[in-house]
Structure formats: C-alpha cells, structure tokens
C-alpha cells in the first residue's frame, strides 16, 4: 500500500513518527501532479481530495472511491474486501 499526498516529506516523516507507524510508504506530491492524473486535485486550492484507488498487477484501476475531502471511518474493511475481490 502506498499513500500519496501533497504534504512535504518532512510532514510525512513527522506523521509516521507521531502515530508509531511502520511498514507504510508515504509519497509526496507537493506540485499535485499525481493528484491531477487521478482526478484528485482541487481546481482552485493547492490541496487534493481523498481518493482510494486499488490497482491490479497490470496497474489497471479496479476500484476507485472519491470521498471528496472527508475521511471515511471504517474504510479499511471495504478496501480489504475490494482487494480480495479484484486482486488474484
């Protein structure tokens, strides 16, 4: 799993340390180029929408959930189910 946001690398490092996370990869997209490619960019502000994307081994998008700017609680089980259904 990879997380991508427009936050800086320093911000990602601080977030991982603050929450005691390990084994998670967070990438920075400060210019919003990746967000734009996946339709997660905000048209007026330098922020990105929260979008969950699952890709298969050929990098085809098999699941996409755009939650706008809201953090969905309990999204983990939904994502695990989608991975189980689509990635075999």
Q: Which tens digits make up the pLDDT trace of 27-77?
A: 999 999 999 998 888 888 888 888 888 888 898 988 888 876 666 566 667
Neighbour-count burial of 35, counting CB atoms closer than 10 A to its CB (0-12 exposed, 13-18 middle, 19+ buried): buried
Q: Tell me: the pLDDT tens digits for 12-38? A: 899 888 888 888 788 999 999 999 998
Q: CA distances (Å), 15 to each of 12, 21, 57, 79, in order?
A: 5, 8, 29, 22
pTM of the model: 0.68
Tell the burial category of 44 from Cβ atoms under 10 Å away from its Cβ (0-12, 13-18, 19+): exposed
- Cα–Cα distance, 35 to 21 (Å, whole number): 24
Q: What pLDDT does 67 receive?
A: 79
């Amino acid at each position: 799993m990879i997380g991508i946001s427009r936050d800086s690398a320093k911000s990602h490092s601080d977030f991982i340390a603050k929450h005691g996370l390990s084994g998670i990869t967070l990438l920075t997209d400060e210019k919003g180029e990746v967000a734009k490619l996946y339709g997660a960019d905000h048209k007026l502000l330098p922020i990105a929408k929260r979008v969950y994307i699952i890709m298969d081994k050929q990098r085809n998008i098999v699941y996409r959930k755009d939650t706008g700017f809201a953090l969905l609680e309990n999204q983990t089980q939904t994502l695990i189910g989608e991975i189980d259904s689509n990635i075999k």
